[in-house]
Structure 1
Amino acid sequence: MKETDRVVEAPNENKKPLALVPLTGVYLLSMLVTLSHLGDPFPFMGQLYEGDAAEHLIFADSIVSLYLILGILKRQRLTLWLLIGYNFLASCNGISNLLLLPVQHVMTATGTMVPDYHYRVNAFCVFVLFLFLNVFLYFNRNRFDNRSIYLW
């Protein structure tokens, strides 16, 4: 076969970028962890919600996470900016819970023994994680090339 006889294939436009696979996994894991706390008290913006209010917040967070996961899979441009906003809100939530919610109140509501140091380190690590996710999203923003506002 001569070199001139080779067929050059067009690049597959439906191929998913590999950088978005772990991102989908992170948000899927986040959604599953949130759903696993259904029925437990839910800290949000420095207050601890219990009962129906906590369940509604967990349900809303799970629906938003599901939409974001589908948007990542569809490489939707709108989802990129929604992800950055969601991460910013989650970072603010983590810092406000760290500063405004006493550890003893959380321990009493959940019935677990969490040392003060571990609670603070965990809340700070969540804050840093969401900031790093925003940096990752910003540097991979060109991979979100679907300009449609619909997920289909």
Structure 2
Amino acid sequence: MVLVPLTGVYLLAMMVTLSDLGGTFPFMGQLYTGDQAEHLIFTNSIITLYLIVGILKRQRLTLWLLIAYNFAASASGMANLIMLPVQQVLTASGTLVPDYGYRINAFCVFLLFLLLNVFLYFHKDRFDNKSIYLW
């Protein structure tokens, strides 16, 4: 029962990522558009789908991949916040959010990923499938 909400979090993350398909995609301090953005979104969605299936299978390898994915997402968010001008990201996304709102949102997402890592670490005993394959 502990892993069901975790599956929901990553399913929601995958749906939010897929909703950006065809738009711009900020990643590691750069703003990608066109085919590059679509390839990054597709890759991120496939990785997230693998992680969702791994959570459902309680795969031990998935635990460590989730922690690595969360650290990479946190690093990307912080790099985007530091290296990209906020107005450029807001203009590309088509939203009308004040600068401080974007910064608070980015920092909250950073904290969310760190808290997910803490949650995963304390529930690592739930991942008891030692197989490296999903079948």
TM-score tier, shorter chain, comes to over 0.9
- The runs of at least 4 consecutive aligned structure 1 residues that moved more than 4 Å come to none
**1:47 aligned onto 2:24:** no
- The residue number in structure 1 matching 2:46 is 63
| Uncovered stretches (5+) of structure 2, i.e. residues with no partner | none
Partner residue, 1:148: 131
Corresponding residue for 1:108? 91
Q: Which has the larger radius of gyration?
A: 1
Deviation at residue 104 of structure 1 after TM alignment: 1.2
C-alpha distance in 2 between matches for 1:115 and 1:68: 34
Structure ranking higher on relative contact order (CA contacts 8 Å, 6+ apart): 2
Give 1:91 shift: 0.5
Q: What are the residue-to-residue correspondences of 1:1-152 with 2, within 5 Å? A: 18-152=1-135
Q: Which structure has greater helix proportion?
A: 2
Per-residue CA distance 1:33-71 (angstroms, 9 max, x = gap): 100110110000011000000000000000000000000
Structure 1: tracts of 5 or more residues without a match? 1-17
Residue 11 of structure 1: aligned partner: none
Percent identical pairs in the alignment equals 75
Aligned-residue Cα RMSD (Å) equals: 0.7
The alignment of Structure 1 onto Structure 2 pairs a total of residues equal to 135
